[in-house]
Amino acid sequence: MNFIDAITLEVADTEAAERFYTTAFGLGSELRLRASQEPSTGFRGYTLSLTVSQPANADALIDAAVAAGATVIKPATKSMWGYGGTVRAPDGAIWKIATSAKKNTGPAAREFDAIVRLLGVADVAASKKFYVEHGLTVGKSFGRVYVEFESGSSPVKLALYKRKALAKDAGVSPEGTGSHRIAICGAAPFTDLDGFAWETSTLAAQS
């Protein structure tokens, strides 16, 4: 089975990005940063999600992100599936903070349960087949609409969604050009059907 042990974001200013992610979300080794000036305009084809246990935690993380310099794209609201909203980090990455719970069960805390990287792909079925052939195991699958892979003990989950649907969910236009500005650290290097890059992780290199 392939695995993900971290995500690498390519940013213009690594020190500023590190301050933001530490202050806003308290992220550690799950997120890595490296300098890049690769051109990128519009939607980069992915979102990153922090899944939390209750609405109060979503609000706390969104408030912290805005205080640290993020811009609100979609204010947190209730929906049929739960509660959440999206923000754009100063480096341009789109983050969704969400929970399936609709009621609070305790005091607000800036805590999250998992990070989910959602890739906006041209063909969900084809990308699903590609990833299975590269060692990932399907956890949930809803036809040509959505696929989520098993994450095991990994701190990062991976899921696939149609690009236009993902952009709509995030609250942005699906148009975009240039670099994705992101890489996945896993067991082996490869590039998927939509140009998303995987790199050998530190754990894989040491094994």
pLDDT for 149 beyond 60: yes
pLDDT per position as a tens digit, 16-52: 999 999 999 999 888 999 999 999 999 999 999 999 9
Please give the Cα distance from 151 to 207 (Å, whole number).
19
The CA-atom distances, in angstroms, between 122 and each of 119, 174, 189 are: 10, 11, 21
Q: CB neighbours of 22 closer than 8 A, spacing ≥ 6?
A: none
Pairing of strands 197-200, 182-186: parallel
Query: What pTM, to 2 d.p., does this model score?
Result: 0.94
Write out pLDDT tens, residues 124-147. 999 999 999 999 999 999 989 999
The DSSP string of 25-91 is T---TTEEEEE----EEE--SEEEEEE-SSHHHHHHHHHHHHHTT-EEEEEEEE-SS-EEEEEE-TT
3-class SS shares of the chain: helix, strand, coil, % to 5:
25, 40, 40
Each residue of 34-43: b (16+ CB within 10 Å) or e?
eebeeebeeb
pLDDT grade, residue 2 (50/70/90)? low
- Report d(CA 185, CA 199) in Å as an integer: 5
Q: Which residues of 47-79 are buried (b: 16+ CB within 10 A; e: fewer)?
A: bbbbbbbbbbbbbbbbebbeebbbeebeebeee
Predicted local distance difference test score (pLDDT) of residue 205: 46
